[in-house]
Structures are given as structure tokens and as C-alpha cells.
Amino acid sequence: MSNELIKQIFGLIKLNNKLIAVESPLQERVKLLTNLASECQRLDINCYLWTLEDDALQQLSTNEEGLSLQRVDQYQAIAKSRREHYFEILRFWKTTDLSGILILEGIFPWLGESTTDPDFFLTSEWIKSALINLKLYNCNANKTAILLGSNATVSSDIAPEVPTIVQQLPAIEEISSYLAQVLPDYSRSDIHATANASIGMYLADIGYGIRQAIANHEITPDELVEKLSAYKIELFKRIYNIQFLQPPSTPIGGLELIQQAFKTYKRLLSSLAKAYNLRLPKGILLIGPPGTGKSYSAKASSAQLGLPLIILEWGSFRSYGNLAEYKLKNLLALVDRINRVILYLDDFDKGFAGDDDLSKRLAGMLLTWMQERTSEVLIIASANNIQWLPPELTRSGRFDEIFKVDLPNYGERHSIFKIHLAKFDPRFRNGGDGYTEEEWKRLLKATQRCVGAEIQAIVERAAVSTFCEMFGDDVSPLQQLPSLEITLSALLAARQSMNPLAIREADRVESMRNIAALHGLPSSPIDSSIYSLGNVDIFG
């Protein structure tokens, strides 16, 4: 762990702060306590730990084996005889002749905003009052209480009395220094590659990931990077409920104007652009009906820019309730630390459907971060209903670019079909084509008002029906697989079995398209392909 956190804590103690809140993740707890006890020993200061779990006071010290805890009998005798309040430790620390640092672990739940539960409220108010009295009573004593927890949120009434320090995710230099100790045989370039794969994790997580990767056998540095990256993806899913994807190789059909914009953004990431004070847009908003390729565009931007992609379902934050702001704060800190990354806010509008205080507070946090951040993060958000978004989110300077992602035109549907057909039918790979121009015109006419997701489903259904026609139920493994050639009739049959959303919900989709057209720039140029509407006989 960096000494920066310890320096911050003792810096506040020197300024005579008697109450300090420290937010540190659980996995870093032992390391933090060890470093605190070690610094106290160096300065000849006593260091004590009280935990909510066992209501015991322990004196901390360090030795060659690490952290050592010794029970303080003086507190145990008083706590045993006075059981009327579980937080007797606060009375004890106020009056005891012991001095130094007292670490209180597990007290933060009672320090948050007020609750409707009367018993909890009374306990909470008592604890807040006891902490303030402790600060006043010990203003001239060599005593400091450190409130320690994973979420150091305190209510507005006592926040001015309790300065808060947050343990930040380690920077790449700190990770490299740590890796040099745990992987002494690695070269500088191997350490750098491993550190890059570890960015966004705490040192304790990195250590665990390394131990897990090399548990039973020796592995190469490249294999360790691969295993650490996989561990990080799984960890991010559990902690932040996000998908973290390395740049995919995603072909995209149509949306040329969006793709041109992505090429511009790539140039804005260069050091030359920085020299001219040019920057990425604050945010990009993609609006339009469901299934038109908004999520696909975000993946394509990741491929185009060569940046990892974080996919977050914005509406999911509402399910966290009182923890929503804490979760968002941690996520934005992660994004800042990773730095060069795309943050994709999927279904952004759904997070504001309730129009309640929580969604407004979350929007405020996001806006403040978007306005003040210095990291090179490209923010892309998608919305079906832009009218659900607060007006302050869509004004210039917030989401600088707004694109309307519409139903694909004839030329775009042709490109989308070829991308998906190439997954199954070799005739469509490497620029090949399996249909005549007339067959294409017939297919594109039949799939008018189908979106990209529906075209994918049509191709997949046609591939399944073709496979079932080619092979029976009991198929022995073949030495050489025959080609899966998907016919036009198979695609047309698959189309007949589907009712596209833009036809099924025509009024709603047209409303979305019209509103999107008012707010957004077109994402595609006018169709100039040979299959454009002007070149297709729509009457067959």
C-alpha cells in the first residue's frame, strides 16, 4: 500500500483533528491496520482497534510476523459491568487515561442520513452526539478517533466535523512497485504489461489474482497477463455490476457518419491533439428505437479506438437504493483510474423513468464528474426516449454529440445481412456474395422496417432451418464439414415467422424516430447504394 494514505491520516492528526473518517475497502484492511500500527510505533504513539463484531478493544503493534493484537483488559472490565449501551467504547475513550489513536471499525451505518426506524434513529443520534462530545472533551488531549469502513458516508449534520479520507485505487507506478516485489524474476517490460492488466484493482486483489493464477504450476508472463485480465473482468462484474470488454473485432453495417466521428475521436487521443488543447467530447448520446444498433455502435467504437469498453446498465443503479450514490462514486473513480476507456451507459433513459430524487442525485453526480474530470474517458449513452432525460443532460457541454440511430436503409440492411450471413455461409466471407442483385432486392424489400437485431435473428433462424434440412437427428462426426449454404427462401421463411417491432408498435416507434430526428444528427448518409429505395421496385 502507498504511504500516501498514512501521510494523509497523520497530516490531519497534526492539524489537531480528533475525528477522522477513512474509507478503505475490506480487502485492504489488514494492510492498512499494519501500516497504521507500524507508523504509530515509529512515532511512539499507542494504537488501538475496536470492532463492532466483538465489542473488544485491542492494542495494535507490529513484529516480524506482521500485525499483533493484544486485548485491553481495562476496557473489558468496564464494558462487562456496563452493558446498557453497545457503544460503551465512545464513553470509555472520552474519559480514559489511555492516549493515542483509536480505530473504530463498523460504526458508519449509524452515521448516514436519518431513517424512519425510531430505535435506529435514537441510536444514531446518540452516537453522533457522543462523537461530537468526544471531540470537544479531548480537544487538548493526545487522542484521535479514526472511523474506518468500506463506505465512509456521513450525514450532512456532522460531515463538517469529520474530515474524510478515501483510499484511492493504486496508480500504475504503485502497482509496478508492488509487482516488482512479488514477481522479482520478471523483466521491466513484463512488470509493465502485468501492471497494465492490473489497473483498476487494489493491491490485495492483484495479489490474490496472481496467487490464483500460479497456484499449482509455473506460467509465462503472457499467461499471467491473460489470467489477471480474466480475473479482473470477473471481479468488476461482482463489485461494480459492469461488463469490462477488451477492444473487440466488431464489423458494423452502415452508420457511416458515426464511424467517421469515431475516427475523429481516435485522432483527438493523440499527443499532437493535446498540444493544440483539443479534447474528446464530454459525451455522445445515441437515440432511436430499440434494436437499431446503439449498443453495437459502442462496441464498434471500442474496436475503432482500440480502447476497452465498460458497459453499465444505468437503470440498475436505482436498485441499490441508499447505496446508489456510493456505488456510482466508486465506479467513476474506477473509470478515472483506468483512464483511456469507453464508458457505455446502456438504456440511459430508463434510469430517469421514475423522475424521483434518487435519479436526480445520480444525474447530478454524473454531470459534475463529466464537467470536472481530467481523464481521457469517452462517454457514450444510449436512449430510446430522449424526453425522459432531464434537460440539463442534453444541453451543449454535457453530451456534445447527439446522433439519431434510425431504422437501417436498404444499403445498410444489405451490409448487415452480409455480416451475419458470413458467420455461417462461407460464400459471404472476404467480400464474397451468394445472391444475385434481384435476390437481394427481393430480400431487402421483404425486410423493410427490420432493425439490425431482427436481421441477425432472421439469419440465425435461417441457419438453424438449413442445418436441420442438411442433417438428420443422428449425425456421426464428419471428417469434412459441407458448407452451410443459406438460401433466399430460408431467409424469407424466417422473416415470415417474425413481426418486426417497427410494424408491431408502429405508432410508438414512429414517435421515437420523430423525436430523435428533432434532437440528433443523422448517423447515416442518404442511401446511395444500388439497393436504395429509388432503385427498388417496391410493388414487386
| CATH code (residue 506) | 1.10.8
Residue 477 lies in a domain: no
Model confidence, pTM: 0.85
| pLDDT tens track for 246-266 | 887 777 777 888 888 888 998
| pLDDT tens track for 420-438 | 999 999 999 988 898 999 9
- The total of other beta-carbon atoms located within 10 Å of residue 370's CB is 18
Res. 539 pLDDT band, cuts 50 70 90: very low
Q: Indicate whether 231 and 324 sit together in one domain.
A: no
- Whether the pLDDT of residue 231 is over 80: the answer is yes
Contact 377, 341 (CB under 8 A): yes
Q: Indicate whether 378 and 457 sit together in one domain.
A: no
d(CA 147, CA 106): 8
d(CA 175, CA 187): 15
| pLDDT tens track for 352-388 | 776 678 888 888 888 889 888 888 899 999 998 888 8
Tell me the H-state helices in 395-526.
Answer: 410-421, 437-446, 452-470, 488-496, 501-504, 506-519
Which residue has cell 493484544? 70
Q: Indicate whether 86 and 144 sit together in one domain.
A: yes
Residue 478 lies in a domain: no
SS3 61: strand
Residue 384 lies in a domain: yes
- Whether the pLDDT of residue 20 is over 90: the answer is yes
SS3 115: coil
| CATH code (residue 367) | 3.40.50.300
Q: Indicate whether 117 and 55 sit together in one domain.
A: yes
Q: Which amino acid is present at 494?
A: A
Contact 304, 259 (CB under 8 A): yes
Q: Indicate whether 263 and 372 sit together in one domain.
A: yes
Provide the grid cell at 71.
486485548
Q: Exposed/middle/buried for 60, CB within 10 Å: 0-12, 13-18, 19+? A: buried
Q: Which of 145, 166, 187 is the last residue of a domain?
A: 166
- Domain limits at 118? 4-166
Residue 246 lies in a domain: no
Q: Indicate whether 317 and 218 sit together in one domain.
A: no
The segment with the largest mean pLDDT, out of 189-203, 213-227, 303-317, is 189-203
Q: Indicate whether 9 and 151 sit together in one domain.
A: yes
Domains contained in the chain, number: 4
Residue 476 lies in a domain: no
Q: Indicate whether 273 and 377 sit together in one domain.
A: yes
pLDDT of residue 229: 94
- Whether the pLDDT of residue 80 is over 70: the answer is no
| pLDDT tens track for 87-106 | 889 988 988 889 999 999 98
HEC readout, 143-207: EEEEEEECCCCCCCCCHHHCCEEECCCCCHHHHHHHHHHHCCCCCHHHHHHHHHHHCCCCHHHHH
Q: Indicate whether 192 and 270 sit together in one domain.
A: no
Contact 158, 129 (CB under 8 A): no
Q: Which of 147, 166, 185 is the last residue of a domain?
A: 166
d(CA 236, CA 169): 13
d(CA 266, CA 175): 27
- Whether the pLDDT of residue 482 is over 90: the answer is no
Measured in degrees and rounded to the nearest 5, phi and psi for residue 358 equal: -60, -45
Provide the grid cell at 128.
453522533
- Whether the pLDDT of residue 40 is over 90: the answer is yes
| pLDDT tens track for 138-170 | 888 899 999 999 999 888 888 899 999 999 999
- Whether the pLDDT of residue 540 is over 50: the answer is no
pLDDT of residue 474: 65
| CATH code (residue 75) | 3.40.50
Res. 534 pLDDT band, cuts 50 70 90: low
Q: Indicate whether 25 and 146 sit together in one domain.
A: yes
Q: Look at 320 and 168; give whichever has higher pLDDT.
A: 168
- How many angstroms separate the Cα of 526 from the Cα of each of 258, 262, 416, 437? 14, 19, 17, 20
Residue 243 lies in a domain: no
Please, what sign has the CA dihedral across residues 236, 237, 239, 240? Answer: positive
Residues 6+ apart with CB under 8 A from 234: none
Percent of the chain with pLDDT over 90: 46
Contact 270, 305 (CB under 8 A): no
d(CA 37, CA 481): 67
Contact 317, 178 (CB under 8 A): no
- Whether the pLDDT of residue 82 is over 90: the answer is no
SS3 463: helix
pLDDT of residue 53: 82
Provide the grid cell at 325.
450514490
Residue 398 lies in a domain: yes
Q: Indicate whether 329 and 308 sit together in one domain.
A: yes
d(CA 186, CA 194): 10
**Angle between the N-to-C axes of helices 203-213 and 221-240, in degrees from 0 to 180, rounded to the nearest 10:** 130
d(CA 280, CA 301): 13
Q: Indicate whether 126 and 274 sit together in one domain.
A: no
| pLDDT tens track for 42-61 | 999 999 999 888 888 999 99
Residue 293 lies in a domain: yes
Residues 6+ apart with CB under 8 A from 158: 111, 128, 131, 132
Q: Which of 166, 198, 223 is the last residue of a domain?
A: 166
